[in-house]
Each structure stands twice: as C-alpha cells, then as structure tokens.
A and B are shown apart, each in its own frame.
Chain A
Amino acid sequence: MEFNIDDLPVLFPYPRIYPEQYAYMVDLKKTLDAGGNCVLEMPSGTGKTVTLLSLIVAYQQYYPSHRKLIYCSRTMSEIEKALVELQALMKFRAQRLGYEEEFRGLGLTSRKNLCLHPSVKREKSGNVVDARCRSLTAGFVKEKKEKGEDVDVCVYHDNLDLLEPHNLVPNGVWTLDGLLRYGEQHKQCPYFTARRMMQYCNVIIYSYHYLLDPKIAERVSKDLSKDCIVVFDEAHNIDNVCIESLSTDITEDSLRKATRGAQNLENRISEMRDSDQQKLQDEYEKLVQGLRGADDGRQEDSFMANPTLPDDLLKEAVPGNIRRAEHFVAFLRRFIEYLKTRMKVRQVISETPPSFLAHLKEHTFIEKKPLRFCAERLTSLARTLELTNIEDYQPLQEVATFATLVATYEKGFLLILEPYESDTAEVPNPVLHFTCLDAAIAIKPVFDRFSSVIITSGTISPLEMYPKMLDFLTVVQESYSMTLARRSFLPMIVTRGSDQASISTSFQIRNEPSVVRNYGSLLTEFAKITPDGMVVFFPSYLYMESIISMWQGMGILDEVWKYKLILVETPDAQETSLALETYRTACCNGRGAVLLCVARGKVSEGIDFDHQYGRTVLCIGVPFQYTESRILKARLEFLRETYRIRENDFLSFDAMRHAAQCLGRVLRGKDDYGLMVLADRRFQKKRVQLPKWINQALLDADVNLSTDMAVSAARRFLKTMAQPFRAKDQEGISTWSMADLKRHQQKLDEDRIKELQAHEARGSNMPPRGVGNGRDSDYEMDDDDEAELMALHHTS
C-alpha cells in the first residue's frame, strides 16, 4: 500500500498495515527530520524490520540528501532476514513505481561466512580463516607477486582489481546467499566486494560489532559519512555489547603465548636486519618524521587493529624510546614480565588505571605515553615485518591493546585480578580482568559521528535507562502498545502455590522443599493444560540443575513426563541445538515438550517459539545477575557514581529486561497466541518495569494469583483461543487497510485543527501540542476497542 506521512510518500509492501507500525513510522520520521536520536520499543512480531526499512528507504529516495542507512543487527540469521525483507520491499517499490531505482543494499558478515577460496573456506575457526585470507590478500603479497616471486594469492580477491572500484556488483539488494552465488559465478570475492562497496551503498546491514567494537570499526566503518542513519535493532543488550568490546581478560597462558610472540618478533627483526635492513630503516624514518601511516595503516587488509584513540593522539609522533624495533620489543617484554609478576599475587586486587600505571612506572620505568602507542606501534611493526601467520601474535596483540587502553582511559575502567576461579578453588588460575564499566565509551564515537541513531527492540523498557547509561539525548522515546482484535496473550504473575505459601527464588528460600514442590506443581499443572510446546526459564544454570534434581527426587518429573517430553538447555551449544531440534519435532508431531532453559542462555536470545513451538512460557524466579561477581559490583558502583543509577534499580532493570525477553519469545505475530507466566512473589512490584505492551495486557486481577487460580484462568483463555479466528476479524482494529488509514489520518488532522481552533479561541500563547495529542487520543480509542472486545470474549 501507498500513503503519505506529512509530505513523504511511503510505499509499504503489504496490503494492510498495523496501527503501531504507522505510529512507529511517524515517530521515526520525526526523529530523522530533527536529526536526533531516538529509543523506540515495538512489540515483537509486529513487523518492526519492514516498517523501519520501508520508511527509511522512502525517506532516502524522496529527499535529495539520500542519507545512507546503516542497519545493525545481532546475529547472522537476523541480518539475512533483514536483507530478504529489503529485497521484497525494493521489488514492491519497483513494481509500483514502474522502474528500478538506483539502489544498492548489501550485507556484511565475517570472512568465514563469505569466503569462496576452495581451501580457506574449509577452515573451521573464524580466526584461522581471517589469518589465511590475509596472508593471501595482503598488499605486500601482491607486490611480491608482481615482482615475480612465487607466492600464493587468492584469485577471487585479485579479480576485484580488474573491475571498476565503485561498481563491483550491479545495483539491487544482495542477500548474503545471493552475494555468494554472484561471487561464485563471476569469480570474485564476496567479502571484499561487500567491504569495498560499502561506500557506494544505500543500505548496509551488518552486525553491531562493525560499528561498536573499536578494533573493527576503525577499519570497516571509517568512511561512512556523517549524515548516515544508524539503526541498532534488538538493542536491549547494547550496553553489554559495548562493554564487552572494550574489555579484555589476560591469563597466564595468554601471557606465556605473548612472550613467545615477542620472542618470534625479535627473531624476525634480527633476520630482517641481516637481509633487508632498508625496510626497518624506512619504518624508522617514517616514525621519526611523525608521519603516521594513516593511509596505509588503516586499509582493509591491515593486520592488526587498534582500539579507539583520541584523534589528537593519532597525529602525534611515536615516542622516541619505542621508535626502534628492538627497543619496542624489549619494551613489550618488560611489560609482559611485569604482568606475569602481578599475576603471582594470591589475593584479589582491584585497582584503577592510574594506580596501575603508577605501580608499573615504579617497577619497570615504563611511562604512560609509550604505553599508549603500544598497539599502534605493534601494528606498524607487523606491517614492516610482513607477518602473515598473524594468529601466532594474537595474544601479543591482546596485551598491546590492553596496554593502550589502560594508558588512554583513566575513568570508566577497572583492573580486577582474580587469582582463583571460585572461592573454594585450591589451585590458582589467575585472570586479570580489564573491564570497561562505562558503556558510553564504546558507543560515544557512534553518537559523535552520526546525527541520527535509532535504538530499537521488542523489549527495551524502561526506555529512560538507555539514554542514561549510554549518555546521549533523544528526540523521541516511545513504547508502542500492541493492538489486538482478541486478547491473544495472557500474562500472569503467580505469587503463591496452591497451598498459599508464597513462591520465590530469593536466596533464602530457593532451596526449601516446599517452594521447590510448589514450582514443581506449577510446572505439572501447566504441562497438563498447555497444547504442544512449553518453555520454562530459570535464573541460572546452577539453580536449574539443583531444582531439577530435587524434582527428580520428588517424582515431579515423572508426572510431567506423562504429558510432555522434557528437554534441557546446557551451556554447550551443540547439545542445546540438538535439544532444540528434538523439541521442535515433539511439538510438531503432537507429543508436546517442555524445554527447560536459562534466562540468560542462548535460547532466551534470538530463538523464536512461534505458534505450536511455544504456547506457554513459564519464568521461574526473577533472573537477577550473579551479584557476587566482582566485575558486576564494580560496574554497579560506577553507575551509581557516574550516572546516578542506584544498584537496585540497575539490577532490577537488568533482570526485567531479560524476563521480558523470555516472555517475548512466545509471541511472534498477531495470529499467534500464548500464555506468559511469571512465577515469583517479587514480580508483583516489578510489574511497571515490563514493556508497555505486556504491562497493558496484564489485568489487575492477574497480578497476585495462586497456582490453582492461574490454571483456571489459563484454561479459560485457551478455550477462547480455540474459537475460530479469521483474518477478517482483525480488519480495522489490529490491521488497517488503506481506507482505515485514511480515516485515521483524517481524524488526526481534524483533531489538530480543533486543537488549533480551541487554542486560538482561548487566545493563550501556549504552543500547540500538535501531532502528539492526536496520537494519544488514538491510543485511547484503541484501548476502548480492546476493552470492548475483551468484554465480548468474556461474556461469550
């Protein structure tokens, strides 16, 4: 369908649109017009991706600035899905407009997924693929080849040089699969095609890391222009991604390997001094001049990556005492030995970067400044030495990165040395955690560079937490409710067992037999009434294991077994995927199954339980983080000190976003239905932290139930769900045709006019409230409709 938002014509590739999709587009456009950031929460399964894409593509094509879209998603399958959506959208647009637009959309993923080289692509590990690819495609390899030396090259990569650099693939949207096929046909490397074409694309779809991880972002996303529109989809975990991208763990093993790496470097240097003195001398001259290899150091095939550095630092010359290669290697060695000595301490130490630096200087005479240049200098050296087997130097590079970070940032980082793995362990296994505490550091370059950043997800409540944590300002923050023609999901909070004893996984009572038995009977009851699949989430693996063994002793599992197959998630990815496969089979063939999994595990993120794969999701306990972790404690303290977020607020926010994520797994569309059961006394108070669309559907009567009451409510719900439900019933309510949309727009306009008239009549000089007001009233209308419909269902 085709409609206008203000003056912008939008082509939407489906004949009907959901009301929340329209509202989403309106807000999105407002953000783009204002050139600001926004946080938007839209219920899962309401077509967020296609809404985003169709509005932004329309915006790109209509306005002359042609702002590029950078769409970041989490996993490869999500990237592929978004690309397919985009392809369909562009096909629809071409059909409607009658001509193909000048448009290019590309996805980017790792070399491992995009490689075509016959032997390299067979490698299992991503790192090995990267390393081998580099050894075939690096600049100096080509130089050698031209000089007539016998070196291996990748024909797929070299073919790219024969093509026009800005026209490696024809216009159109290329899915990852499509790109692979095209690459195979034309014998050109899909990975480098995508990388090099990024500047000439209208839409780029790739993983968060290409923008957030400073080590990668520097190389991949450097050339993107300032007015790009950046979208982070499924962004509820974005703060953790930011933090992980800047944190490193150093172990004794990695230090040992780093020492070996330094030794190798030294050997290479002396070799080179004998054979090719000139190269070392050239590098040295360059460093003396203070000429940074800004152009050649940052190209796509550069070997090692550097973490973010302030720009002024990049322009400065490398300090004199690490200019010469052998000086630098000795410098690295001293640093590594120092770290080794620190690791021998047998008590927990946590210290800030300044105090670490002070201690370091006292014992090794390493100053802060050369330390800062460590990563940069290592990259330069690696280039000069023409290292190809880069995986040998990985640990060394980690150490160098750590050195640079520790010397660059005074605040927002903490060093924690944990000599033992757990409190009870006897054998020391020291780990030096260098943790980033401030999510804003990694994402700051993104906000600084791009004027419009859109953060969106199905569950991103409470919205105000994200601007606070990531330190940015928003133009629009909005959470959309879900318009439904029938009440298709039933959230409930169960606080008591059938015996009226309150249930909770709080630490004091979690292992009491009565609580465990009550949870068991809850599981059994819901296993009885739920058709097909049922998913149960526990707060942690540890608790899951203990409760399962207790259930086994109580005979509860035998009871559940009668109704459902029982499958368990484990930390091992292979086992879990096997369990998932079995689960799906059991759901499809009517046996039914229960999947027991963990709220922070792999299953809770990104695996959908649509339709028969999930009719009930049971969340046992509030999924709090393990609060005894020192890293978490440090982060909490930092949040309190810097952003004024209280510990409990953050913990509760974090627990509820995971709980919401679990609940969202079960409902993947408007024709889907499911039960959402939150089983813990403490959920009662945390209700407001649920996303708006779940909270709205949660009736006051359903927030304090005992097991038997919950079961009877669920029975009633499932009975109504069993009534036939046609697509026609939804029309005009949860799906709008063109006419409905027109009516809605007209109503909004009328509202606005009325508002203005009233405003003029009053003669006050308050500014008009404009669209916002119209939209509020729109929601009220929907609520009323919903209430009416629900009343109908209850009476029927």
Chain B
Amino acid sequence: MSRRAPPGARTGAAGSGSTSSSALAAINTEDMCPVCKTIRYLNKDMEFLINPECYHSMCSNCVNRLFNDGPNQCPYAGCHRTLRRKGFRSAFFGDLAVEREVDIRRRVAAVFNQAEDDFETLRDYNNYLQMVEDLTFDLVSGTDAQRRAAEATLQQWEAEHKADIERNRKAGREADEQSRRRLAAEREAARLRRIEALREAEEEKRERARSREEELDSLAHGEAGAAGGAQRVQLKKRGQAVASRAVEAAVKTDVAAADVGRLSIRGLKEKKKAPPPEGPYDPFGGLDFVPSRYKLRPELTHPGIEKYKVDPAHITGGYNFDEYTARAMFEAFAGLGVFIEDEKEVGIGLSAGDVATMSAGIAAVGDNKMELA
C-alpha cells in the first residue's frame, strides 16, 4: 500500500542518503530505493516492501533480485539477518517504527485479550491495561534484558491462560461479527427507505402530470363545468394519496412517526414549566417567621441592655443579644392581629403549644432572618 521508504530512523541507511551527490539529494528519499538507488522517475510502479524480521525497506525489484534464489542476508549495511522471499510484504504505515509497533501489538493483543467484564472493578481493568501497555513498551523499545523479560511474561501468560484466551477470542470475533451484521442491516434498511422515497416522489409526479392532462382534455372537450370538478377530484385524490401514505408511514416507522406530525399550535403549552428545583428541607413547612408588623434592625439597642453587652457574664456561651431583642419584640407584638371572634368562627386558633413552637422557631431562624428585615 505504501510507496514510502522509512524516514531513516531505524534503517541504518540514513548515512547513504546524505553522502550521495547533491543532485540526488534533491530527490526525496521516499522516491528512491535505498538499495539499488532507483528513483521513481525511472520506474513508475516502484513498490517498497519490508520484511518484519528487520523492517528494512527496499523496492520489489531488489527483493526479487536478491531473494528469488532462496534465503539471503539483508543488503543493509550492518544488518546481518537472513531474510526469505516469503516474509516480504508492503507496509501499512508510512512510519516503519509504527509498523513494527503494531506488529508487536498484534501479538500482545492476541494473548492479552481480557475484556472489561472480566474484572471486578474498573480500577482493576485499568491497571491491567496499563500492565499490558508497559509490557508492550518493553517489547517495542526496551533494552535487551527488558525485552527478554517481557517475552517470557508473554509466553508464561499464554501458557497459563490458554482456555481464557481462546474463549475471549471467540467472544471478540462474535461481537465483531454482530456489529458488522448490524451495520450491514442498517445500511440495507436505509437503502430500501431511499428507494421507497424515490418511488413515491416519482409516483406523485406522474399523478400530477396525469391529472393535468385530464384537466386539459376536459377543457378541450369544452365541458366548462367539468374543469372545476376535475380539479376537485384531483385535489381529493391527492388528499387521499397523502392520507394513505401517512397511514403507511405511521405503520412503518415507530419512532420517527412522532417527528412527522409535530405541528405546533401557537400559544399551546407544549412544554410544561420545569418543576422548581427542590430546596433544602424546611422543618417549618414553609412557615415564615419574619415579623410583619415591625422591623428588626440588627443592632437594636436599648439603654437597659447596653451594660450587659460588655458584661463578660452575659456575652459568653454563644448568647446573642439580637435573639433577646427579637424575643422581646415578639412577645410585645404577639397576638396583636388575632381577633378571638374570627378565630372562633373559623374554628382554628393558636394553642399555647403553637405559640411556643413559634417563638422557638424565631429563636432558631432569628439569626439569618433578622438580617433580611
């Protein structure tokens, strides 16, 4: 697939590019075979191949030339691996480092193929994923020792969990197959719907042309009255067609049907007002203790209590003078708006207990409410 040679990071042939003559240097390394120095200009269908043994790329001509007669050494300087004709393939990625990484990943993924459901918690799964990633990294770019260790772990795991791996592989294949089938089915359904829509449009067009012709015919025959009638018939026909189509659509489509007829009538409340967000729990059930007959100022002073404000015996223990004034004011005004006659008639009255709770309530909410007042 790729026409590119590697950028030279792992090729070992990077030096040869820079030592070539200045004329050649202008030619992109992507278009020149590092082995035979053929450039794309001379060979239009030049194709680069790699061997996963060492990931050194060369053109297909070189591969044929060097390896047709059996295994041979890699032509790159310093690379002493023995390659076979069979092992060569074209690279999927432009960057051969990535190509190699993905090959390794393929091996790792074939072994470590646990799914999220196999783990107790997400955390465990994530740790597992990281372990796999670390292992892959060791394989890809670790030192020799690390690579050997990783390789050993891999084999050990494979040997130990053979059954698990096989099961997961099967499950994965099935899931893939399923999703592929689902996609195909969806595409097919869409295609059918498309054809249906086209057919409908076509039919409508034909119908219109036909009725128009009829109308013209009737006019030509001089039946003056018929023209209006024909039009009415046509209208009716169209209406019927639309109606029948609507019924069909309603039957055929389940969800989307709601969208078709979404007509909006002005002023109609379609969207109910969102319920107000629930506030914090109110032990008094919305009862408000803000005094209505008088106003409490935060720093209400009275000569009588002034001296206690500096008295250490009174200001300790979290005692609040505002509470005192609030209570005093409440007691002074309590019962002012109550008319016993009225209360009797209605049949409700504040019992002594109620009054007590009320004053307690004031004491409780006094702090914040008084600032409001």
Contacts and interface: CB of A to CB of B under 8 A. Distances in A.
Contacts of A327: 130, 133, 137
A93 B179 CA distance: 63
Given A324-B130, A334-B101, A341-B92, A477 B270 contact: no
B289 interface: no
B contacts with A: majority SS: helix
Contacts of A320: 125-131, 133
Given A334-B98, A464-B264, A473-B264, A321 B270 contact: no
B126 to A, nearest CB: 3
A290 B123 contact: yes
Interface in A597-654: 637, 640-644, 646
A355 B184 CA distance: 10
Interface in A462-486: 464, 467-468, 473-478
Nearest to B127: A320
Interface in B338-369: none
B256 interface: yes
B309 interface: no
Interface string B205-240: 000000000000000000000000000000000000
B176 interface: yes
Interface string A331-362: 00110011011001000000010110010000
A695 to B, nearest CB: 18
Interface residues of A, number: 53
A321 B130 contact: yes
Contacts of B123: 288, 290, 317
Interface string B269-303: 11101100100000000000000000000000000
23 contacts: A35-B273, A36-B269, A36-B271, A316-B122, A317-B122, A318-B126, A319-B126, A321-B132, A323-B126, A324-B130, A327-B130, A330-B101, A337-B93, A341-B92, A341-B94, A344-B94, A352-B183, A364-B102, A464-B263, A464-B264, A644-B256, A644-B259, A770-B267
Interface of B: 1-3, 92-95, 98, 101-102, 105-106, 109, 122-123, 125-134, 137, 176, 179-180, 183, 190, 193-194, 197, 201, 256, 259-260, 262-264, 266-271, 273-274, 277
**Max count, chain A CB within 10 A of own CB: residue among B92, B109, B134, B271:** B271
A30 interface: yes
A35 B271 contact: yes
A770 B288 CA distance: 37
A324 B129 CA distance: 11
A352 B259 CA distance: 23
B133 A334 contact: no
A34 B273 contact: yes
Given A358-B176, A475-B268, A771-B267, 20 more contacts: A36-B269, A36-B271, A316-B122, A318-B126, A320-B125, A320-B126, A321-B130, A324-B133, A330-B101, A334-B98, A337-B94, A337-B95, A337-B98, A341-B93, A358-B179, A364-B105, A477-B264, A646-B197, A646-B201, A772-B266
A473 B129 CA distance: 45
B102 A334 contact: yes
A523 to B, nearest CB: 35
A62 interface: no
Given A321-B133, A326-B137, A354-B179, A468 B2 contact: no
Contacts of A643: 259
> Closest 10 A-B residue pairs measured CB to CB?
A320-B129, A320-B126, A320-B130, A35-B273, A36-B271, A321-B129, A321-B133, A337-B98, A365-B105, A337-B93
Contact of A35 (B1, B98, B274): B274
Given A290-B123, A320-B127, A473-B271, A333 B1 contact: no
Contacts of B127: 320
Contacts of B132: 321
Contacts of A338: 93
A726 interface: no
Contacts of A365: 102, 105-106, 109
